Amino acid sequence: MLAYVLRRLLHAVPIVLVGSFITFVMVSASGDPLGDLKAKQPPVPRAVLDAEAHRMRLDQPVLERYWHWLTGIPRGDWGPSVKKIDIGAEIWPRLWVSARLVTLAVLLALALALVVGVVSAVKRYSAVDYAFTAIGFLLLSMPAFWLAILLKQQAIDLNQATGSTLVYTVGEASIPPPTGFWPTVADVLGHLVLPTIVLAMTAFPPWSRFVRSSMIEVQESDYVRLARAKGIKRRKVLVRHALRTALVPLTTVVALDLAVLFSGAVVTETVFQWRGMGSFLLSAVRDKDIYAVMAWLLLVSVIVVVFNLVADLLYAVLDRRVRLG
């Protein structure tokens, strides 16, 4: 198993390197990082512009810039930022913010997907199945920002009805923060509720459809029919035999979606003003901050590689016929 993991990681290195070089060249050609500084009113002195160009390594050929950037990363140097932020110090807390949001949302979405998917499969073509299907397609077709706005308005109405702020619409915590343990917990939860629900509601419908179709397929398989014929309890057949097998394709989908969600629940983070990976990318693109964009891309490519590997490892856990090696 360990050898397999190491081999997979080694294979990923050249892929990430080639990808990073291509994206570096593309990002470098995407505009003048000093454009906004050059258009400042009153104008910035020439000497300042020259110094900034040197600091941003814009006076170097692109190959040299790439090499400096790549070799700096192991030392924790992610390159100079247009906005003079410490990219390394900025991106890790943002990854943590996104991770907190995504983890909760994924747990909620997975729970919903499993319940809805299994119930829909078991009660196939019933009123319950049709209702879940309708809700699923409604959420699938509803843009995340629209759902967020609707929920925000409901939250505001709730707060106004109760006369106190229970649910918040912006940020990860109140400023200034409340004092005391329980007020702090309530404040954090009050800020988590809406973005978690929005992210979960956008992620769970396709997952529930996967669970439903897999469960239907598995329920009709010979080994499940045999299990039933042997008199094993229906619940046990469903959970131990059918669901376990049905989870294999879901694992692939969730692993890939997780990478996407980690890389930035851009809309959700923007609407709720969470300072995660999504807003980091938006700011970096807006500011033409080449090295900040590259840091984001590199991190996301690593996340994609890691979660693909995790998905492959989970196959072996869920399906004993799969042998890694």
Distance from C-alpha of 235 to C-alpha of 256, rounded to nearest angstrom: 30
Please give the full DSSP string across 139-183, using - where no structure is assigned.
HHHS-HHHHHHHHHHHHHHHHHHHTS--S-SSSSS-SSPPSSHHH
The amino acid sitting at 278 is G
Whole-angstrom distance between the N-terminal and C-terminal Cα of the chain? 7
Residue 184, interface with another protein (CB under 8 A)?
Answer: no
Q: Give least dist CB 259 to another protein, A.
A: 24
47 part of the interface to another protein, by CB under 8 A: yes
Q: Which stretch binds another protein (CB under 8 A): 210-218, 279-287, 299-307, 313-321?
A: 279-287
Which segments of 85-143 does DSSP mark as H helices, in order? 87-122, 127-141
61 lies in the binding site for another protein (CB under 8 A): no
What is the smallest separation between the CB atom of 68 and another protein, expressed in angstroms?
A: 21
For position 283 contacting another protein by CB under 8 A, the verdict is: yes
How far apart are alpha carbons 87 and 312 in whole angstroms?
A: 32
Which tokens hold the place of 310?
């995790």
Binding mask 63-102 for another protein (x = CB under 8 A): --------------------xxxx--xx------------
x/- letters, 233..252, toward another protein (CB under 8 A): --------------------
In this complex, which beta carbon is closest to another protein, that of residue 130 or of residue 145?
A: 145
* Count of residues that interact with another protein, criterion CB under 8 A: 48
Q: Report how far Cα 161 is from the mean position of its chain's Cα atoms.
A: 34
Tell me, residue by residue from 155 to 174, as one string, x for binding to another protein by CB under 8 A and - for no binding: xx--x-----x--xxxxx-x
Which CB, 41 or 179, lies closer to another protein? Answer: 41
Instruction: Identify the residue whose tokens are 């988590």.
Output: 192
Spatial separation of the C-alpha atoms in residues 62 and 59, rounded to whole Å: 9
Rule CB under 8 A: choose which of 36, 59, 64, 220 binds another protein.
36
Q: Give the one residue of 57, 152, 209, 241 binding another protein; rule: CB under 8 A.
A: 152
**Rounded distance between C-alpha atoms, residue 194 and residue 158, angstroms:** 13
Residue type, 264: G
Which of 109, 127, 124 has the alpha carbon at shortest distance from 205? 109
Does 28 help bind another protein (rule: CB under 8 A)?
Answer: no
Interface residues with another protein (CB under 8 A)? 31-32, 34-45, 47-48, 51-52, 83-86, 89-90, 149, 152-153, 155-156, 159, 165, 168-172, 174-176, 270-273, 275, 279, 283, 286, 288
